[in-house]
Amino acid sequence: MYDLIIIGAGPAGITAGIYAARKKMNFLVITEDIGGQAVWSSDIQNYTGYQFISGADLVEKFREHLEQFKVNVNKNEKAEDVIKDGDHIIIRTNRGKYKTKTLIIASGRTPKEMGVKGEQEFKNRGVTYCATCDGPLFADTDVAVIGGGNSAMDAALQLTRIAGRIYLIDIADKFQADVVMAEKVKNDPKIKIFHKTRVKKIYGDKLVEGIQIEEEGIKDLPVQGVFVEIGSVPVSDFIEDIKKNKANEIIVNCRCETSIPGIFAAGDVTDVFSKQIIVACGEGAKATLAAFEYLNTRRFADE
């Protein structure tokens, strides 16, 4: 029986773990990976204390901080079901079953897929969802970046230092990204922008060889890489009997409390305003403090 279990080890989950360790709680972190989507960011210039740091380096700082407290982290473990059973919460994963008095869901988000022909067939054979991770594999090749938000801008700008020609395919008539990032993209001679354009299919033999787009007619673009940057969806399907919004985000109040007593949520999996690393860290801290108070103000059946 744990006092607390944290699902996820991105910025929210790691911060929640650090706070739980400082409170000397009996807790466990269950996660598929360390860092979450933060590790995919190339240039972070708005995290307090760092004028510039890469996502990978910031996540490494988080991990080192977590390890200083010798936190028990179950890596490569996926939550599959959560049930509230009386005073306790039961979590089933791909490895086993756990019981806890409180739970923090900090499972983050996962990239959206386009759902076009060839996307599944060419995953990891030219189709990728992470420019930071996979960009170096496409040195001096022509690539397509799909999307019009900040993640697409970030991917395109990263790839200007690696790839040959970059085609930026945006379904909207104008970018939804921050003005500064959008201007950098528009002014870069290596990037060709297609607005009001839809990807119809991805094709090739063993590897990606091109994409077919619809822009005032059908045309082919010969590319060797396709970077899908069209947003993300919350990882919240493993818990059903909890209030979520239309986007499947878990609804929380200012104390990170969900609709189920004893279950808290933090970071990008929630409906919190603005999906930012620094916001997720603050929410992770709040969630642990709220869980700690919950434990100290209630009497449980086994006590």
Render the burial of 59-93: b for 16+ CB within 10 Å, e for the rest.
beebeeebeeeebebbeebebeebebeeebbebeb
Is 275:106 a contact under the CB 8 Å cutoff? no
Rg (CA), the chain: 21
Is 147:174 a contact under the CB 8 Å cutoff? no
Q: Which of 3, 33, 130, 271 is catalytic?
A: 130
Is 105:251 a contact under the CB 8 Å cutoff? no
Nearest to 67 by CA among 37, 34, 93: 34
Q: What are phi and psi of 119, to 5 degrees?
A: -65, -50
Is 91:103 a contact under the CB 8 Å cutoff? yes
* Measured distance CA(106)–CA(269) in Å, rounded: 6
Q: Which of 3, 43, 134, 271 is catalytic?
A: 134
Count Cα neighbours of 6 within 13 Å in the Cβ-side half-sphere. Answer: 37
254 included as an active-site residue: no
* Measured distance CA(110)–CA(288) in Å, rounded: 23
* Measured distance CA(225)–CA(202) in Å, rounded: 10
Beta bridge partners, 199, equal 213
Q: Is 53 exposed, middle or buried (0-12, 13-18, 19+ CB in 10 A)?
A: middle
134 included as an active-site residue: yes
In the chain, count of helices (H) and strands (E)? 6, 17
Q: Which of 133, 220, 241, 302 is catalytic?
A: 133
* Measured distance CA(185)–CA(177) in Å, rounded: 10
Point out the residues that are catalytic. Answer: 130, 133-134
